[in-house]
């Protein structure tokens, strides 16, 4: 640090490099396993027209990019997944097992054999719509576009979409879709009523690398309730690209096709009275909430900015030590994933405490840090910091038994009623 020679520049270490066990037998071929693996774990994003840099639907696609595949599989940057393996099982886990990694690397090392083309798997069909939740039952968007300047900080934009839900409405899936995604960093959505808007009215968000809210994936009759007389409000964080841009944001909704049994609920851990000192490499922030009901945990989501290092969610049942629900040891600002649990796999009784603990790196060793000499507090812009720990759940004992109209999500009658 002082520019002086290092007295001991290298230290010999005893021991040997460890090698992973070789894949048994000859390397698998594209036709005999590798193609199916690529389609299952990669093709959801790596397809024409997506944000991925290349397609992985065909053998030719994969063989042409085999060295890149080997690199990202070795350093575990793809498929993107950041939850630590020992803590929790998640139904949307897209990571590769050790055996799958070894098979892919052996296939690349063997010069990517194709195998019998007659046995090659058919690529998955192309999506029938650009919407990841499928074709929406209802579509709403701003009537006019927002204009984004060439450079500088863009204040958050707030807008209410031109639609009012005159009756109570239940929604199974919601997707926020910018028509110019290059200028949208993230967008939060809540319902807005005469009572205002707040943490309790939050619905979902659009974030880098995230997935839309699709409660149908839980297959337990969960839906989100929008009260009568409400509209949909957006908080939009635009970013500049070096040229003047425009963007319109659309919102698609899919209504339930099955009986609604559970209402989606959440708590937000969002402490704000903290300051990260200059140069601090592991500043700790934590927050907790005690549950007032028996819950069935469905998912967790964390949002920090570029100094965020890690976040851990823990649950302490009454009279018991805390257990880790989710640990994200290497938070990635560019890919903010939600972590979904299979319904019934993690139930917590009333009186349990849910705690989130995060660390922030404000040092010069953080390559994403815009200014390590600055004291950093809570703020909306990326140069500031945030601590958001979302916990999504349903009431264990709730069974609404609501029959809704698939055309508009309005309640027809209680299921089985007259």
Under the banding of pLDDT at 50, 70 and 90, the label for residue 19 is low
Under the banding of pLDDT at 50, 70 and 90, the label for residue 160 is very high
Task: Tell me: pLDDT of 85 over 70.
Answer: yes
**pLDDT at residue 143, as a whole number:** 82
| Alpha-carbon distances, residue 311 vs 81, 200, 209, 285, 286 (angstroms) | 14, 23, 17, 9, 9
Residues 130 and 293: their CA atoms lie apart, in Å, by 39
Which one is predicted more confidently, 275 or 208? 275
Check if the beta carbon of residue 296 is closer than 8 Å to that of residue 264. Answer: no
Task: Tell me: pLDDT of 331 over 90.
Answer: yes
Which one is predicted more confidently, 301 or 50? 301
**pLDDT tens for each residue of 106-159:** 999 999 999 998 999 999 998 889 899 999 999 999 888 999 999 998 999 999
Going 226 to 260 to 175 to 88, the CA torsion angle's sign is: positive
- Mean pLDDT, residues 213-225: 97
**pLDDT tens for each residue of 336-363:** 999 999 999 999 999 999 999 999 999 9
Task: Tell me: pLDDT of 80 over 70.
Answer: yes
**pLDDT tens for each residue of 349-407:** 999 999 999 999 999 999 999 999 999 999 988 899 999 999 999 999 999 999 999 99
Give the chain as a 3 state SS string.
CCCCCCCCCCCCCCCCCCCCCCCCCCCCCHHHHHHHHHHHHCCCCCCCCCCCCCCCCCHHHHHHCHHHHHHHHHCCCCCCCCCCCCCCCCCCCCCCCHHHHHHHHHHHHCCCCCCCHHHCCCCCCCCCCCCCCCCCCEEEECCCCEEECCCCCCCCEEEECCCCECCCEEECEEEEEECCHHHEEEEEEEEEECCECCHHHEEEEECCCCCCEEHHHHCCCEEEEECCCEEEEEEEEECCCCCCEEECEEEEEECCCCCECEECEEEEECCCCCEECCCCCCEEEEEEEECCCCEEEEEEEEECCCCEEEEEEEEECCCCCCEEEEEECCCCCCCCCEEECCCCCCEECCCCEEEEEEEECCCCCCCCCCCCCCCEEECCCCCCECCEEEEEEEECCCCCCEEECCCCCEEEEECCCC
Under the banding of pLDDT at 50, 70 and 90, the label for residue 49 is confident
Q: What are phi and psi of 87, to 5 degrees?
A: -115, 100
| Alpha-carbon distances, residue 21 vs 108, 163, 277 (angstroms) | 16, 59, 45
**pLDDT tens for each residue of 262-283:** 999 999 999 999 999 999 999 9
The proportion of the chain whose per-residue pLDDT surpasses 90, expressed as a percent, equals: 80
**pLDDT tens for each residue of 224-264:** 999 999 999 999 999 999 999 999 999 999 999 999 999 99
Task: Tell me: pLDDT of 418 over 60.
Answer: no
Distance from CA of residue 409 to its chain's centroid? 26
């Amino acid at each position: 640090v002082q520019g002086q020679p290092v007295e001991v520049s290298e230290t010999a270490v005893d021991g040997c490099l460890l090698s992973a066990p070789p894949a048994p037998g000859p390397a698998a071929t594209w036709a005999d396993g590798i193609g199916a693996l690529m389609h299952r774990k990669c093709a959801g994003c790596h397809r024409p027209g997506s944000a991925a840099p290349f397609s992985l639907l065909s053998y030719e696609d994969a063989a042409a990019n085999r060295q890149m595949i080997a690199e990202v599989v070795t350093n575990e940057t793809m498929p993107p997944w950041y939850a630590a393996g020992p803590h929790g099982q998640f139904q949307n886990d897209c990571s590769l097992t050790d055996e799958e990694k070894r098979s892919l690397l052996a296939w690349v090392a063997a010069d990517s054999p194709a195998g019998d083309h007659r046995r090659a798997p058919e690529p998955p069909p192309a999506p029938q719509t650009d919407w990841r939740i499928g074709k929406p039952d209802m579509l709403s968007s701003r009537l006019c576009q927002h204009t984004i300047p060439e450079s500088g900080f863009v204040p958050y934009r707030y807008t209410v979409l031109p639609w009012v839900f005159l009756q109570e409405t239940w929604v199974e899936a919601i997707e926020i879709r910018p028509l110019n995604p290059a200028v949208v960093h993230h967008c939060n959505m809540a319902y807005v009523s005469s009572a205002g808007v707040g943490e309790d009215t939050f619905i979902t968000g659009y974030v880098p690398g995230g997935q839309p809210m699709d409660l149908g994936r839980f297959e337990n009759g969960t839906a989100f309730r929008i009260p009568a007389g409400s509209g949909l409000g957006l908080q939009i964080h635009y970013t500049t690209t070096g040229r003047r841009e425009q963007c319109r944001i659309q919102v698609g909704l899919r209504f339930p096709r099955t009986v609604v049994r559970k209402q989606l609920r959440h708590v937000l851990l969002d402490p704000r009275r903290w300051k990260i000192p200059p140069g601090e490499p592991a500043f700790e922030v934590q927050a907790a909430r005690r549950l007032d009901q028996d819950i069935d945990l469905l998912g967790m989501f964390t949002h920090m900015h570029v100094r965020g290092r890690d976040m851990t969610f823990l649950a302490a049942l009454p009279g018991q030590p805390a257990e880790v629900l989710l640990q994200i040891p290497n938070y990635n600002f560019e890919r903010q994933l939600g972590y979904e649990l299979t319904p019934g796999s993690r139930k917590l009784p009333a009186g349990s405490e849910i705690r989130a603990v995060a660390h922030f790196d404000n040092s010069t060793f953080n390559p994403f840090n815009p200014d390590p000499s600055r004291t950093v507090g809570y703020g909306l812009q990326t140069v500031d910091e945030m601590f958001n720990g979302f916990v999504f759940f349903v009431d264990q004992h709730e069974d609404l038994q609501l029959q809704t109209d698939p055309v508009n999500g309005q309640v027809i009658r209680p299921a089985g009623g007259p």
